[in-house]
Amino acid sequence: MKNKLNAIISQVISVSPNMKIFRVVPDGWELPDFKAGQFVALFLPASSARYVDATDEFKQLKPDKLIRRAYSVSSSSKNKEYLEFYISIVRSGALTPRLFNLNIGDKIGVGKKFTGMFTLDKVDKSKNIVLIATGTGVAPYISMLRSDAMNKNRKITVIHGASNSWDLGYRSELELLENISSNVKYIPTIIDAEKEKAKWNGERRFLQDIWKDKVFLKCLNYIPTPENTHIFLCGNPNMIENMSEILIYENFLIHKKNQNGQIHIEKF
Ligand SMILES: Cc1cc2nc3c(=O)[nH]c(=O)nc-3n(C[C@H](O)[C@H](O)[C@H](O)COP(=O)(O)OP(=O)(O)OC[C@H]3O[C@@H](n4cnc5c(N)ncnc54)[C@H](O)[C@@H]3O)c2cc1C
């Protein structure tokens, strides 16, 4: 049955009050092959209880209505045991308040069609990559780095923007990767520094300003050009629009079905 709740929550990690990492194990079916960077639908019936911290939903839904939304996979495409997702709650939304109410052992629906062109498919292994995200937009990059993005011949930069330091999901994993790989640079940046509970010594600039500051030259000793680098942009549509403008001005091309470019985009 297409709409059966066909998977079980096996782990829930609270990253911050607004963000959780969910591990989901297929119940009686095999995960199909998918590519790192792709997304899949998660679904629950409207009869599922909403999280206590959620607000009223925008529109009352019939209890048997299935609520389906797209989520990028953050686990490795090589891992066939479970899927991982990094999700932020939209308190007035339909699905996320129900997702946030789930606990280990609860059932959830997972679509079986993994889709999306936001992958490393069209990126030569010799090209550098810059992975730029806001919030949970870092999820597809974690999948790429856990799958096949790592490669000694390329330089990899992850620039991750969030409101506060506690919203920087996967920070330890990315710091570890940076520490053990001379070709990886991880730059977390926060925009709401006044709310920090402890001193934040890191970046506070917008992603666009970090890009313009030529951090690549300082940190990885190269200048990104359309010839040597592909740039991935994921998350907030405003950030994607602003970054795309800057990159197009620097002669990078947007990657589309009918056009091989160096700017790869996934809007949440
Ligand atoms: C390719 C892709 C990948 C994604 N991956 C991720 C991911 O990895 N992690 C992640 O957290 N998110 C991801 N998203 C976003 C995700 O799909 C959902 O959009 C998000 O979780 C919100 O879902 P929701 O059902 O809780 O909110 P929704 O019900 O969709 O509501 C969103 C907002 O719109 C408002 N709203 C709803 N209906 C109306 C209306 N009729 N008129 C006006 N306002 C309305 C709500 O009040 C709420 O503020 C991805 C999206 C895409 C397209």
Domain residue limits at 244: 128-267
Same domain, 184 and 250: yes
CATH number of the domain residue 11 falls in: 2.40.30.10
Query: 120 in a domain, yes or no?
Result: no
> For residue 140, which atom of ligand 1 is closest to its CA?
8
Same domain, 105 and 136: no
Residues whose CB falls within 8 Å of the CB of residue 219, separated by 6 or more in sequence, listed in order: 157, 185, 187
Same domain, 106 and 133: no
Same domain, 209 and 260: yes
Query: 228 in a domain, yes or no?
Result: yes
Same domain, 90 and 24: yes
Query: 115 in a domain, yes or no?
Result: no
Same domain, 145 and 260: yes
Mark the ranges of the chain whose per-residue pLDDT is less than 50: none
pLDDT confidence of residue 156: 96
Q: Which of 209, 88, 89, 224 is nearest to 154 (CA)?
A: 224
Instruction: Calculate how far, in angstroms, residue 9's C-alpha sits from the geometric centre of ligand 1.
Output: 21
Pocket perturbation via mutation, ligand 1, pick of 56, 58, 88 by most ligand atoms within 8 A of CB: 58
Cβ(171)–Cβ(189) below 8 Å: no
Instruction: Calculate how far, in angstroms, residue 132's C-alpha sits from the geometric centre of ligand 1.
Output: 20
Residues whose CB falls within 8 Å of the CB of residue 209, separated by 6 or more in sequence, listed in order: none
User: What are the tens digits of pLDDT across the range 212-245?
Assistant: 987 888 889 999 999 999 999 999 999 999 999 9
Same domain, 90 and 145: no
CATH number of the domain residue 137 falls in: 3.40.50.80
Same domain, 151 and 247: yes
> For residue 70, which atom of ligand 1 is closest to its CA?
17
Which of 81, 110, 139 terminates a domain? The answer is: 110
Distance spanning both ends of the chain, measured CA to CA? 28
Nearest CA to ligand 1 atom 33: 93
Which letter does DSSP use for residue 163 in this model?
S
Q: What are phi and psi of 147, to 5 degrees?
A: -105, -80
Ligand 1 environment, Cβ below 6 A:
39, 58, 69-72, 85-88, 90, 92-96, 136, 139, 266, 268
Total domains in the chain come to: 2
Query: 122 in a domain, yes or no?
Result: no
> Which residues partner with 107 through β-bridges?
8
Residues whose CB falls within 8 Å of the CB of residue 132, separated by 6 or more in sequence, listed in order: 159, 160, 161, 207, 211, 231, 232, 233, 234, 239, 243
pTM of the predicted structure, to 2 decimals: 0.96
Angle (CA) 184 187 188, round 5°: 135
pLDDT confidence of residue 149: 83
pLDDT confidence of residue 148: 86
Same domain, 85 and 147: no
pLDDT confidence of residue 59: 86
Same domain, 168 and 43: no
Instruction: Calculate how far, in angstroms, residue 93's C-alpha sits from the geometric centre of ligand 1.
Output: 7
Whole-angstrom CA distances from 92 to 43, 50, 59 are 17, 10, 9
